[in-house]
């Protein structure tokens, strides 16, 4: 009887120890999992300081705002490339800025315009070129865009209004100071550039 009673007590003690160890392991595992998920959530948050006051800002991924970033990049590129005053240094600076935002296809168009005397004509006639974006169609899956704009060329003698339609593709590249959106226009070409009637 005594031996049977000791065996039962030992078995009960062993089961209690195993249950306690299993319970502790489960609690520790849940605690570690919850801590890792909280750290991951905190890493998605950014605090911006305004003086000594911290403000919570959500960090967004590029994919979340790709459409907005791509349209802003396309519009900025066209402004740099087509907004031209009669100032040779400024033209070089803006067109140079545009070259950081596109591949060699933009350089080829710039060289073609230069060979045709477009830039020297702007300077000699004191013309001012501006472009206004009408709309940008962007296919997110193919990353192909079509830019619709109106170019206004103001000369001393008369003003010209032209319809401008360009197309190309968008690729993701590392962000730099000269390319803040981290995007690159590739395969860029002008598909329409014609005078409009007033």
The beta strands (E) that lie in 59-110 are given as none
8 A C-beta contact, residue 129 and residue 152: yes
Q: Which of 69, 45, 49 is nearest to 59 (CA)?
A: 45
Task: Supply the pLDDT for residue 44.
Answer: 72
Residue 30: other Cβ atoms inside 10 A: 10
Question: What confidence tens digit (pLDDT) does each residue in 94-134 have?
Answer: 999 999 999 999 999 999 988 988 888 888 888 899 999 99
Task: Give the model's confidence band at 59: pLDDT under 50 very low, under 70 low, under 90 confident, else very high.
Answer: low
Per residue in 124-169, pLDDT tens? 888 899 999 999 999 988 999 999 999 998 888 888 898 999 999 9
Contacts of 137 (CB under 8 A, 6+ apart): 145, 146, 148
Q: Give the pLDDT mean for 156-184.
A: 89
* Tokens (6 digits) for 87: 């100032």
Q: How many other CB atoms are there within 10 angstroms of residue 82's CB atom?
A: 21
CA atoms of 147 and 161, how far apart (whole Å): 17
Which residues are CB-neighbours of 89 under 8 A, at least 6 positions away?
none
pLDDT bracket for residue 1 (50, 70, 90): low
Residue 56 has pLDDT above 80, yes or no: no
């Amino acid at each position: 009887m005594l031996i049977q009673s000791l065996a039962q007590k030992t078995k009960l003690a062993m089961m209690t120890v195993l249950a306690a160890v299993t319970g502790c392991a489960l609690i520790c595992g849940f605690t570690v999992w919850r801590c890792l998920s909280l750290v991951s959530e905190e890493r998605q948050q950014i605090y911006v300081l305004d003086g000594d006051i911290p403000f919570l800002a959500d960090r967004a991924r590029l994919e979340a705002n790709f459409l907005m970033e791509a349209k802003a990049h396309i519009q900025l590129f066209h402004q740099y490339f087509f907004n031209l005053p009669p100032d040779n240094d400024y033209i070089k600076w803006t067109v140079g800025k545009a070259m950081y935002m596109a591949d060699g296809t933009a350089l080829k168009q710039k060289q073609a315009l230069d060979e045709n005397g477009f830039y020297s004509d702007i300077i000699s006639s004191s013309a001012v070129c501006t472009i206004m974006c009408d709309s940008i169609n962007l296919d997110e899956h193919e990353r192909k865009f079509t830019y619709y704009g109106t170019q206004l060329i103001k000369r001393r003698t008369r003003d010209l209004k032209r319809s401008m339609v360009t197309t190309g593709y968008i690729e993701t590249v590392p962000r730099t100071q000269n390319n803040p959106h981290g995007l690159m226009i590739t395969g860029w070409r002008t598909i329409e550039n014609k005078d409009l009637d007033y």
